[in-house]
């Protein structure tokens, strides 16, 4: 199993290009199941989850291939309505196959999902919403078996929680449903807007994406499209924090500043120098940072996917701070690993109490989930001495060319087999 070795203590300097958003690319790739015409999706990151999705599309019946940052998806043969365990276990986003296949085939059997172990993340919000669209559901043998023999019927759906995955799944289903679907308490993330823009370019009728109410008027068929995926806001936030934690000076390119407004605001309050342009962010450490409390919540508030990285930064920021996790109930698995570097952290329920230390020391650590892995990389970059990070396959799910990008910024980082 591969590991990453980092000799820390170097200030990061230079330019880094932010990749396309994985969490946007995945539902958009699944949207190709809604048409029999070719789809070309650009600015797609080369990641394990993307490769799993491409394998998924090929298994279902498409002909999909990634070339550099472009996925070309062609019609190939009759669709398979079964999403097997061997594919679904690798990636939670596999459940996004439900919406398109119910819309096209009126049935789908999906293995219960896998993915990062950061909480229960149930799919019952998805299933409750599908029932409103007229879907019959049965759970048997580790599979969710779903059917809509009379086709999908538009409905009013009110989510009890603004789930991103459930919002995407219902959008993917409702675009071909009969009549109008209104989603209340919908997720408002930029990735939802990106999916809606892609679907609309295919001929869908979606309005309100990016707000708490999304209206979808079903159409009979969708056409092919060419669509460019938005930049990855979580990757961008990670590199901003990398500049802060290493006292560096970085320019982020191909980025959308408005998508990470709250991260930028928090870093500015901490004392970082940040200048924004249309698709660039200049970030520079100019003085000792001040501790800042954060509380995670759904977009546009502080993202749970940046909580671990922020914790790593506050661990070396003089003073006391607190990090409260409101989205996932089991997202502090990085805390024991950060403490191995010498961080002074204490978990109290859903809050981590932090006392900033002067410096961290390199240590062998283990990744528990994708964003926890990012926090360990950041801590390793800041720490004195050598750190060895194990179980980095989690990182390969969400950060494109991680070692290459950090090396370009001056980090002493390498992957070993």
Positions annotated as catalytic residues are 116
Q: What is the 3-state secondary structure (H, E, C) of 71-83?
A: EEEEECCCCCCEE
What φ, ψ does residue 323 adopt, rounded to 5°? -125, 120
User: Do residues 362 and 387 touch, judged by C-beta distance below 8 A?
Assistant: yes
| CA proximity to 178, closest of 127, 109, 128, 103 | 103
User: Do residues 413 and 389 touch, judged by C-beta distance below 8 A?
Assistant: no
Which residues have a Cβ under 8 Å from the Cβ of 137 and sit 6 or more positions away? Answer: 127, 130, 131, 144, 145, 146
Q: How many angstroms separate the CA atoms of 356 and 144, rounded? A: 47
What φ, ψ does residue 104 adopt, rounded to 5°? -90, -40
| CA proximity to 93, closest of 42, 134, 55 | 55
Q: How many angstroms separate the CA atoms of 41 and 235, rounded? A: 20
Tokens found for residue 269: 């309050």
Strands 82-83 and 107-111: parallel
What does the DSSP assignment read for 2-33?
-EEEEE--PPPEEEEEPPBPHHHHHHHHHHGG
Q: How many angstroms separate the CA atoms of 99 and 126, rounded? A: 9
Which residues have a Cβ under 8 Å from the Cβ of 336 and sit 6 or more positions away? Answer: none
Q: How many angstroms separate the CA atoms of 310 and 321, rounded? A: 11
- For residues 148, 110, 305, 10, the Cα torsion angle rounded to the nearest 10 degrees is -150
| CA proximity to 165, closest of 145, 142, 184, 189 | 189
| CA proximity to 73, closest of 222, 235, 178 | 222
Q: How many angstroms separate the CA atoms of 160 and 119, rounded? A: 18
**Radius of gyration, alpha carbons of the chain:** 21
- HSE of 202 in the Cβ direction (CA atoms, 13 Å)? 33
């Amino acid at each position: 199993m591969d590991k990453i070795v980092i000799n820390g203590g170097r200030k990061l300097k230079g330019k880094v290009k932010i990749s396309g958003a994985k969490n946007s690319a995945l539902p958009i790739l699944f949207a190709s199941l809604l048409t029999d015409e070719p789809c070309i999706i650009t600015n797609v990151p080369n990641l394990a989850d993307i490769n799993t999705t491409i394998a998924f599309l090929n298994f279902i019946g498409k002909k999909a291939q990634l070339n550099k940052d472009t996925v070309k998806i062609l019609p190939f043969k009759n669709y398979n309505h079964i999403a097997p365990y061997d594919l679904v276990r690798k990636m939670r986003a596999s459940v996004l196959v439900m919406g398109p296949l119910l819309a096209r085939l009126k049935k789908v059997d999906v293995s219960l999902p896998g993915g990062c172990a950061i909480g229960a993340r149930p799919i019952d919000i998805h299933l409750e919403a599908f029932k409103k669209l007229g879907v019959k559901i049965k759970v048997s043998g580790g599979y969710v078996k779903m059917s809509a023999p009379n086709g999908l019927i538009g409905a009013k759906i009110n989510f009890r929680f603004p789930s991103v995955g459930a919002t995407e799944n219902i959008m993917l289903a409702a675009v071909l449903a009969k009549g109008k679907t209104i989603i209340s308490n919908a997720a408002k993330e930029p990735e939802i807007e990106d999916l809606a823009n892609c679907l609309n370019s295919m001929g869908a009728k979606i309005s309100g994406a990016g707000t708490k109410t999304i209206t979808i008027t079903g159409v009979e068929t969708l056409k092919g499209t060419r669509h460019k995926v938005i930049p990855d806001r979580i990757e961008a936030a990670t590199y901003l924090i990398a500049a802060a934690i290493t006292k560096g000076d970085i320019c982020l390119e191909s980025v959308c500043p408005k998508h990470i407004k709250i991260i930028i605001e928090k870093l500015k309050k901490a004392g970082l120098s940040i200048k924004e342009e249309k698709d660039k962010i200049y970030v520079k450490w100019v003085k000792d940072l001040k501790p800042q409390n954060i509380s995670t919540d759904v977009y546009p508030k502080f993202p749970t996917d940046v909580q671990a990285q922020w914790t790593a930064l506050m661990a070396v920021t003089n003073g006391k701070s607190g990090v409260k996790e409101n989205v996932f109930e089991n997202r502090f698995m990085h805390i024991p690993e950060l403490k191995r570097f010498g961080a002074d952290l204490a978990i109290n329920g859903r809050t981590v109490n932090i006392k900033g230390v002067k410096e961290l020391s390199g240590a062998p650590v283990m990744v528990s989930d994708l964003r926890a892995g990012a926090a360990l990389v950041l801590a390793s970059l800041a720490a004195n001495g050598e750190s060895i990070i194990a179980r980095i396959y989690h990182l390969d799910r969400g950060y494109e060319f991680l070692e290459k990008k950090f090396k370009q910024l001056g980090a002493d980082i390498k992957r070993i087999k």
